[in-house]
Chain A
Amino acid sequence: MAKYLAKRIFYIILTLFIVTTATFFLMKFMPGTPLTNQAKLTPGQIHQIYKQYGLDKPLWQQYLVYLGGVVHGNFGTSFQFSNQPVSYLIGSRMGPSLTIGGEAMVVGVLAGLVVGAIGAIKANTWVDTTATIISILGVSIPSFVLAVLLQYYLGLKLRWFPIADWGGFMYTVLPTLALAASPLAETARFMRTQMVDVLSSDYIELAKAKGMGKVGIIYHHALRNSLIPVVTIVGPLAVGIMTGSMVVENIFSIPGIGEQFVKSVLTNDYPTIMGLTIVYCAMLCVVLLITDIVYGIIDPRIRINK
């Protein structure tokens, strides 16, 4: 186990190194400059600014400096956002993003499991059809459309929830719902397929031959076997939530990293873009590591012995 973990962590570090390198050079070769009023500045002023940010040094030196910083959790200083350190910016905005992202993941996956299981148990009935329609809608409606609809109906019309902004649980409900739709749909679809498969397997036939009732079969044999593989889609779902949050946070004016990412892209705030890219990548790596470990724990066939 320890050996396995060490190996996985090594690969995560390698991944982060490659992502850091790639984003660094991609940023350098992107057109556009971070200086909003470049035309009005004298060459001297421009030089002054470049010097302040270390942009006058040769590329390889800039790269090494940046890499050294990243290792120590220092992503440089933001070009915008009043020259704050990028790490501070990200740190102070992490909370809201993790809150709605986590809520969306939990709500989406749990509801998806229920919808998918019911669809499989009642396969090819109207219940199943309804479940399938829910999945199709969830996958095909973009989260920003859903966000706007929720904002309009539940926020503006019914006034059940605040329309936007941040400050307590009630503020998280609408963005969570907007973000949860897609993981809900994906999980439901995946769970239904898994469970239909399991229900037609030989060991379920054997359970019937034992004289086990319908409920017993689902509870003792079908659920666990269908649930285990669901762990494997949590990583991809996390990616969906991360990208979804960039738009949803903007719509609901949530001070999270998704909103910050969009702003930095619009203003060519390279240090912030790079920092956030690395942070997103690290979060994904951690999610994948956790899901792999969990999968190994709950599936006896792939339990890690070494």
Chain B
Amino acid sequence: MENANDILEVRNLKINFKTYAGTVKAIRDISFDLRKGETLAIVGESGSGKSVTTRSIMGLNAENAVIDGGTIMYKDQDLLKKTRKQMDQIRGRDIAEIFQDPMTSLDPTMKIGKQIAEPLIIHKGMKREKAYAQALEMMKLVGIDNAKERINDYPHQFSGGMRQRIVIAIALVNYPEILIADEPTTALDVTIQAQILDLMKELQAKTNTSIIFITHDLGVVAGMADRVAVMYAGKIVEYGTVDEIFYNPKHPYTWGLLNSMPTMDTSGTELPSIPGTPPDLLDPPKGDAFAARNQYALEIDTKQQPPFFKVSDTHYAATWLLDPRAPKVTPPDPIIERQKHYAQLTHEAIDKSRGKHIEEQEEQL
């Protein structure tokens, strides 16, 4: 691993799909790290390649997928080089996944206790009895009432929110190091959404699992993630800490996503969505894929893909607007508001750390 704090390092990943219409270039050279114990959110419109990214990590891509390059390093092993059988050892033990729709993720004809116990039986070779006892503990941990009586119930006897708790129990029963959650709350009611997110945070604190949290909705990211990567048309276009992405965004696509996000004071008013549609991945544009929808596009955007420009040690954005030669542009008003807020935040942070520093000095005296 390049960095001792990383649990997963994705480098220059390229995934294509062979179809009758041609080659779909779904993932076009992405790199990112997942730190131990953190939550990394990957956000982007539908079709930007979030699910393909997670399936590549799990080794569960469709049969027409072609790995066009890159590595996915987990504990000094490249997951892309593993056979199906070797991946079976890792899936459900070291890396687990929660899917989008809890109504369809559970086997309708199998008792939930058995479904939760399965990963233990598969990976730890546990006997039925012991596995069920642990499954029961897990059911309690994810907040299923009367767990003991309900262990022999079938999925249809639970609500959507409860089913997602069961799916989470299945994913966490082996205490995996990495949990991938692919839009885990998209199919749920808003109130249930919040409960599931709280549960995930609570369990993460207990298990120290690293989470890759996939969503198309920036709204759920704020309270959930430590860092955010913004994806567009098979590329990561900006990444940074949550505060950096929310309050100091640099990429016009991130601006668009933030502006179309409902907040307290926009409720009721119509939200501006990003005009236009993502490019055809059968034949992606030569320059910046977002150029066609970008009101701030420069001439170079249509000709050459922007490299990542460093904003801070933790914050990078791939937009030509950050090139020193680029003209200064004024972001949309709401973004300026956010940046003001960010300036405040950073000052507070600096003050706080100074204050702490002084306290420490005083203690030493």
A-contacting residues, B86-143, CB 8 Å: 87-93, 96-97, 99, 101, 104-110, 118-119, 122-123
Whether B110 contacts A206 by the Cβ 8 Å rule is no
List residues 191-243 of chain A with CB under 8 A from any CB of chain B. Answer: 201-203, 205-213, 216, 220-221, 224-225, 228
Q: Contact: B154 with A205, CB < 8 Å? A: no
B173 CB to nearest chain A CB (Å): 9
Query: Considering the complex, which residues of chain A in the window 107-162 have a beta carbon less than 8 Å from any beta carbon of chain B?
Result: none
* A210, B91: Cβ atoms closer than 8 Å: yes
A80 CB to nearest chain B CB (Å): 52
Say whether B89 contacts A211, CB under 8 Å: yes
Q: Is A301 an interface residue (CB 8 A)?
A: yes
Complex Cα distance A225/B154, Å? 13
**Bound Cα distance A299, B87 (Å):** 33
Cβ of B325 within 8 Å of any chain A Cβ, yes or no, is no
Q: Give chain A residues whose Cβ lies under 8 Å from the Cβ of B171.
A: 209
The answer to whether B122 touches A212, judged by C-beta atoms less than 8 angstroms apart, is yes
B58-A203 in contact (CB<8A): no
Interface centre among A202, A206, A207, A220 (most CB of B within 10 A): A206
**Pair A211/B170 contact, Cβ less than 8 Å:** no
CA–CA, A228 and B106, complex, Å = 16
A203 and B88 contact, Cβ closer than 8 Å, known pairs A210-B122, A221-B110: no
Contact assessment for A211 and B109 in the assembled complex, using a CB-CB cutoff below 8 Å: no
Bound form: Cα–Cα A301–B108 in Å:
8
Residue A300 is within 8 A (CB to CB) of chain B in the complex = yes
B60 within 8 Å of A (CB atoms): yes
Q: List chain A residues, Cβ under 8 A from B118.
A: 207, 210, 212, 220
| A211–B122 alpha-carbon span in the complex (Å) | 7
Most buried by B among A202, A216, A224: A202
Q: How far is the CB of B300 from chain A (nearest CB, A)?
A: 42
Bound Cα distance from A202 to B118, whole angstroms: 16
Q: How far is the CA of A299 from the CA of B105 in the complex (A)?
A: 17
Rounded to whole angstroms, the CA-CA distance of A301 and B153 in the bound complex is 11
Measured CA separation A224–B107 after assembly (Å) = 10
Checking B88, B105, B106 against A213 with a beta-carbon cut-off of 8 angstroms, the contacting residue is: B88
Minimal Cβ-Cβ distance residue in B for A225: B109
Known A-B contacts A211-B89, A211-B91, A300-B156; A206 and B106 likewise in contact (beta carbons under 8 Å): yes
Q: Contact partner of B92 among A201, A209, A220, A299, CB < 8 A?
A: A209
Interface size on A, residues (CB 8 A): 21
Q: How far is the CB of B176 from chain A (nearest CB, A)?
A: 10
Given A206-B167, A211-B122, A300-B154 in contact, is the A225-B107 Cβ separation under 8 Å? yes
B60–A208 contact, CB under 8 A? yes
A301, B154: Cβ atoms closer than 8 Å: yes
B286 at the interface (CB under 8 A from A): no
Known: A202-B101, A203-B108, A225-B109. A211 touches B85 (CB 8 A): no
CB neighbours (8 Å) of B88 from chain A are 211-213
B105 touching A211, Cβ below 8 Å: no
A213 to B84, CA, bound (A): 9
Q: Which residue of B lies closest to A201 (CB)?
A: B104
What CA separation (Å) do A203 and B101 show in the bound complex? 10
Assess the B92–A212 pair: CB atoms within 8 A. Answer: yes
| Given A210-B92, A211-B119, A212-B88; A300-B108 close (CB under 8 Å) | yes
A205 engages B108 (CB within 8 Å): no
Do the beta carbons of B99 and A205 come within 8 Å of each other? yes
Residue in A203, A205, A216, A225 whose Cβ sees the most chain B Cβ within 10 Å: A203
Cβ-defined partner of B156 (8 Å) among A208, A216, A301: A301
Least CB distance, B84 to chain A, in whole angstroms: 8
Tell me whether A205 and B60 are in contact in the complex, defined as CB-CB below 8 angstroms, given that A210-B122, A301-B154 are known contacts: yes
Supply 20 further A-B pairs (C-beta < 8 A) apart from A203-B107, A212-B122, A301-B154.
A205-B105, A206-B107, A206-B170, A207-B118, A208-B58, A209-B58, A210-B92, A210-B122, A211-B88, A211-B119, A211-B122, A220-B118, A221-B107, A221-B110, A224-B109, A228-B109, A299-B109, A300-B154, A300-B156, A301-B156
Please name the 3 residue pairs, one residue from A and one from B, whose CB atoms are nearest each other, closest first. Answer: A211-B92, A210-B92, A211-B91
Instruction: Provide 11 A-B residue pairs closer than 8 Å at the C-beta atoms, listed in order of the A residue.
Output: A202-B101, A202-B104, A208-B58, A210-B91, A211-B87, A211-B92, A211-B119, A211-B123, A220-B110, A300-B156, A301-B154
